[in-house]
Amino acid sequence: MRWETLVEHWPLLAEGAVNTLWLTAATVLVGFVIAFPVALARNARNRLPRSLAAGFVFVFRGAPLLALLFLIYYGAPEIPLIRETWAWTLFRDPIPCAAAALSLNSAGYLTEVIAGALRSVPHGEVEAGKSLGLTRLQVFRFVKLPNAVRAGIRNYGNELVFILKGTSVASLVTIMDVMSAANQIYFNTFDLWAPMLAAACLYLAFIGAITVTIRAVERRLRVPGH
Amino acid sequence: MTWSLFAWGDAGWGDELVRGLAVTLALAVLSFLGGVILGTLAGLAEMRLRYVGRVLSVYAAIMRALPELLVILTVFYGIGPLVRLGGQAIGIDGLGLSPFWAGTLAISLVIGSYVSEVAKGAIAAVPRGMGEAAFALGLPQRRVTRLIVLPLALRHAWPGLTNLWMVTIKVTPLVSAIQLEDFIRAAGTAGQNTKHYFLFFGAVMVVYLALSGASMIAQSRGEQRLFRHIGRPSP
């Protein structure tokens, strides 16, 4: 292991770190936008949306991330609906493909996190809200949501860590993330330990930041006296 | 879509895919068993040995935080050459880690780091009196652990372990990064040659979903069996 390797090649790692963070941010955003309505459907009173949402969870939680990524990245050009419309400008590029695969994959897990958090709100509190004359939307907004956020924040933090770790898979479709940068430095210098150790430290630092942030949010949300 | 693409022999890709699937399944089973053994030992050590236990729990926490792909690449490119050098030092040439065994070792280490958490919780959930009773009957400590505590802990560990089995299945495709001809790589080769990527990767998805569905059924069957003495599904 040589430190000079890192001194010489750090810009590549920096580029990788930026891409890893971008990919994580995009996945967190899109994953949530997908998962929230599916979680509502998962808890619906009607059977049809409930089983559709269960199917969504089964498919995207059961399939490996890499299989999903390859299906989208290599398979998308074969779908006429994608090949011949504006979607092609998006799916031609590996980064949107990776973001799509990561988002769907994490939405599978996130749906259960959100649906579980919403279900954990005691029924009595919902009834109390109704008896005070709140509308269904108000009950959701002022009773269910705040309690669910409190109940689900820790699991959500775990999911964020899984998303960050998952982004490393994007290195297998030519995206220059931290993993890819470390790999490339290794192939250029034949020094394995310096880039891998640096990559490991970057991932640990990112995960540390996520954990600290989630803890702080958790503290802030805590009801005094509970 | 033509089913003939999945034909056996030279005409289709059926035999290549099945061979890849066999590699993937062997890898998953061996890595999971390795992970359970390593993780149970680590869990016991973390609970019973003061200094070694502390080192192990920090190590396991780091292992859980690192991306699986990074562990797989580091084991293959880093530990493989070390094994070769070690072999040469004691006079055995040609020793080394093949992609298959490097993948098995790497995934065992990752899964083991999760298993140690499950094992600690499950062992702690076994009532102390159980082990003490066996000890009072004259069983040596080691056999108390092996014959009384661990079998009882399995009940509490079952949901966590089956969950980790599904994690194992979903991690295995990453070994295609170290040139192992597993299921997904076989599908990739087939897709490259026929330009029917969507079909072959779609088939990969379906097979993985079937595996995960079968695992879910096995999970609830196993749970029913583990808790048949009290006639309820879970603790």
Residue B180 in 3-state DSSP? coil
Q: Say if residue A86's pLDDT is above 80.
A: no
Average pLDDT, 10 consecutive residues per value, chain B (235 residues): 72 84 96 97 92 93 95 93 85 82 96 96 93 92 91 92 95 93 92 88 95 93 85 55
| Mean pLDDT of the region A96-115 | 95
Contact between chains at B70 and A168 (C-beta distance less than 8 A): yes
Of A151-160, A192-201, A216-225, B9-18, the range with the lowest mean pLDDT is B9-18
Nearest to A119 by CA among A149, A148, A157: A148
Q: Using an 8 Å CB-CB cutoff, list chain B residues near A62.
A: 166, 170, 208-209, 212-213
- Residue A99 confidence class, pLDDT cut points 50, 70, 90: very high
| Mean pLDDT of the region A150-177 | 94
Structure confidence at residue B232 (pLDDT): 58
Which CA distances in Å does B231 have to B126, B192, B224, B234?
19, 53, 8, 9
B13 membership: H or E segment, kind and range: none
Structure confidence at residue B1 (pLDDT): 55
Give me the amino acid identity at A197: L
Q: Using an 8 Å CB-CB cutoff, list chain B residues near A192.
A: 74, 77-78
Structure confidence at residue A179 (pLDDT): 95
Q: Say if residue A28's pLDDT is above 70.
A: yes
Structure confidence at residue A48 (pLDDT): 95
Structure confidence at residue B89 (pLDDT): 84
What is the interface pTM, i.e. ipTM, of the complex?
Answer: 0.91
Residue in chain A closest to B165 (alpha carbons) equals A62
The reply to whether B235 touches chain A by the CB within 8 Å rule is: no
> Smallest Cβ distance to B198: which of A65, A78, A192?
A78
| Alpha-helical regions (H) of chain B | 14-48, 51-65, 68-74, 80-89, 99-125, 128-136, 141-144, 150-171, 183-194, 197-226
- Residue A27 confidence class, pLDDT cut points 50, 70, 90: very high
Conformation bin of residue B187: beta by default, left when phi > 0, alpha when psi is -120 to 50: alpha
